[in-house]
Amino acid sequence: MGERGEMDEEPFSEALAKALDKAFLRTKGMEFSQLIEVYKGIEEQALERVAKNAFLQLETRRRVAEQIFQRAVELRCPIDLCRDLLADLSSLGFAIPHPKTTAYIMYSMRCQGTASAEESTALLEQLEQELHELYQRERSPGIQELLSSVRRRLKKMNDWPPA
C-alpha cells in the first residue's frame, strides 16, 4: 500500500497484466460471450482492489476494454459489435497514443472490404492528423513510428481491393 493508503500502481499494474495474459490463454477457443464473462470477472476483482484510486480504476477499465475489443476483432465478431466496443474503449480515453493507434488500425483491418471501410478510413485520417500534430510538438521517434503505421494502413485501405 502507498502512503495514502492506496494500492501502489506498479505492482497492481503488473498483477493486472498477468491476470489479463492468463485470461487470454484460458479463453482461447471460447465463445465471445464466455470470454467477456472472464474479462469482466477480472475487471470486477481488480476494481475492488483499487476502490480508492480513481486513476487505477480507469486504467483497469481501459485495459479490460482493450482486451475485449482486440478479442472481438481477432474472432471476427460482427462489425457493429466491434464498432460499439471501440466506442466504449474510446469513451474511456487513451492515456498514451499507442493503444489508440493499435485499436484504430485493428478496427480498420476488420472493416476492410466491407461497407464500414469508409468509416474506418475516416477514423484513421483523423488519427493521422492527431499524430502529425503531436509529432510536430514533440518530435518523438515513437510518435513518428505510429504515424508511419497509420499512413501505411491508410495506403492499404485506399488500395483496396487489390488489383
Mean pLDDT by 10 residues, the chain (163 residues): 57 96 95 97 97 95 98 96 98 95 97 93 97 96 97 92 71
Nearest to 12 by CA among 68, 48, 50, 65: 50
Residues 114 and 157 in one domain: yes
Domain of 78 in residue numbering reads as 1-92
- At residue 161, the pLDDT reads 79
- At residue 8, the pLDDT reads 79
Domain boundary among 66, 92, 118: 92
Residues 83 and 100 in one domain: no
Residues 99 and 162 in one domain: yes
pLDDT digits (tens, 9 = 90+) for 126-137: 999 999 999 999
pTM for the model stands at: 0.89
Asked if 97 and 134 touch (Cβ cutoff 8 Å), the reply is yes
- At residue 141, the pLDDT reads 96
- The structural domain count of the chain equals 2
∠ at Cα 92 (120, 94), nearest 5°? 70
Residues 111 and 83 in one domain: no
Domain boundary among 92, 112, 136: 92
- At residue 6, the pLDDT reads 52
- At residue 3, the pLDDT reads 40
